[in-house]
Amino acid sequence: MTLNSTLLSSLCLSLCVATLRADTPPLFDLQAIRDADTLEIDVITDWHVVEGPAATRQKLVTINVGELWPGQHYRIPVRMVVPLNRKAKGFHLTGGNQPDRLERDAELNPLDQELIRNGVGLVFTIIQEPKSYGEEKLGRATEERFARSLNPRHKIQYWAWPATLMRAVTTAYAETTHFETGKVAMSGSSKNGASPSLAIIHDDRMTAVHASVSPIWDSPLRLFERQAWEELESQPGKRSIFSGGHFGPDFSRAALAAGHPWEDLQQFVRAISDEVFISRNLPKLRRRNVDLLFHPGSHDMVAYDLSWGGARHPDIPIYLGANTGHGKRKGHPKTERDERNKHAFLLRHFFPEKTSPLLTAPLVDHRIENGVLKIAVRFAPYSGEESGRIWWIYDRAPDGSPNYLSEHIPDENTAEMRYDPKHGIWTTEITLEAGSSHIDFFTNHRKTIRYDNRVYPTYLSCPYTRVKW
């Protein structure tokens, strides 16, 4: 049986209706997640040697993630890659793959090769919309089901995708002759940024996430607060289906059409948000020494609430590519084209003895004097930041609105900052535009990370800041 047929046949779901209960159990049964005896592994291609710039041993299987509801199992493929002549200690886990690609032996990019040469494994699985592998009907059915039940188990974003990543960890560690316990770092964009961000909250085997254009914090729109939604819906233009969504596409219209009052939506997101958002779990994650870095994009339809998050979670490390987000490949003319954050982040995470630390979130101060906005950004002493550049936009539309996404930072609204060595701060001034009511700004700062005679330019932003007058 081919991987496609195995996967697709095992993803056929029934359409029974679940009932919303006030005593809904935790989103994940962690004991079941870690139970290798329930994986029901189907070996597609057993361990074999794959030659290349970094020779490996690879194995491809499908596994049982778990039951979406009694009797309905969810199966996915997992490809495991280890060094040729030793066990892998930990691994880099990704879900941005397709079934037909996973059927073929993995061809390693330069970063993969570096990890393998130094004893770190690779695990590939699938975090994709069912439509992408021929199951459009499945995707529609699960959404309809969730709209009726508001049971997070019925929504792929909340349960199936994060559980897939956690069960992939169980699968790899069950291969005791090929893997030993080590760090597990995840990376990806959009759904492959959101899913590991949720999974790492629950699974302490996971140690790092580099996530792009995906949710980070629990802003009023995500919590269905009426005032925020009234402001959003008063804005002109056609809103993205993601803007206003709790952790993925907005499900409010479908849930309301299914007969739920607005209070049900609020009750649901209040009940589940502690299990979903990085912002609500920072103390726990920091006690575990988890490494985090986020690339939300300055104009992204999923990460659509920058000013709220910047004001309330200034210590979450982010890099903001100016005028970037879903579908915005061009960016601002001055966007940092040499940025290698993910490479440096993973190399630092797995091999800290060979690299220097990346920058941590700086403090930002500002004041207005005689129509001039004066800004100072301060990093921790001896951080090693090498540059500073500021970006700004006037009177930006409300979070998530069409104009929030479409009105970009003008080409001229950027400038190099000056470093004040006496006070250890980066400074700049902006003469405020007459007739405006507020300004949004952020700054980006470079630090070059060196690893094995190679250099990786990295960038970190100050907290996204809105100033009103």
Residue 118 within any structural domain of the chain: yes
Residue 372 within any structural domain of the chain: no
Residue 11 has pLDDT above 70, yes or no: no
**Residue 31 CB partners (closer than 8 Å, separation 6+):** none
| pLDDT for the residue 18 | 34
The 8-class DSSP code of residue 279 comes to: G
Q: Would you give the distance in Å from CA 374 to the centre of its chain?
A: 33
Number of structural domains (the chain) is 1
- The helix, strand and coil proportions of the chain, stated in percent and rounded to the nearest 5, come to 30, 25, 45
Q: How many CB atoms lie within 10 A of CB 427?
A: 17
Per-residue pLDDT reduced to its tens digit, 18-58: 333 445 578 999 999 999 999 999 999 999 999 999 999 99
What DSSP string runs through 113-141?
HHHHHTT-EEEE-----GGGGT-HHHHHH
Per-residue pLDDT reduced to its tens digit, 251-291: 999 999 999 999 999 999 999 999 999 999 999 999 999 99
Q: Which pLDDT band, with edges at 50, 70 and 90, does 129 fall under? A: confident
Residue 366 within any structural domain of the chain: no
Average pLDDT, the chain: 93
Residue 132 has pLDDT above 90, yes or no: no
Residue 231 within any structural domain of the chain: yes
| pLDDT for the residue 9 | 36
Decide the pairing of beta strands 372-378 and 363-369: antiparallel
* Structural tokens at position 417: 């900052």
Residue 367 within any structural domain of the chain: no
Residue 270 within any structural domain of the chain: yes
96: containing domain: 3-359
The phi and psi torsions of 87 (rounded to 5 degrees) equal -70, 155
C-alpha 218/C-alpha 233 separation (Å) is 19
Residue 46 within any structural domain of the chain: yes
| pLDDT for the residue 68 | 76
Q: What is the CATH number of the domain that holds 23?
A: 3.40.50.1820
Residue 396 within any structural domain of the chain: no
- Please tell me whether the overall predicted TM-score, pTM, comes out greater than 0.75 for this model: yes
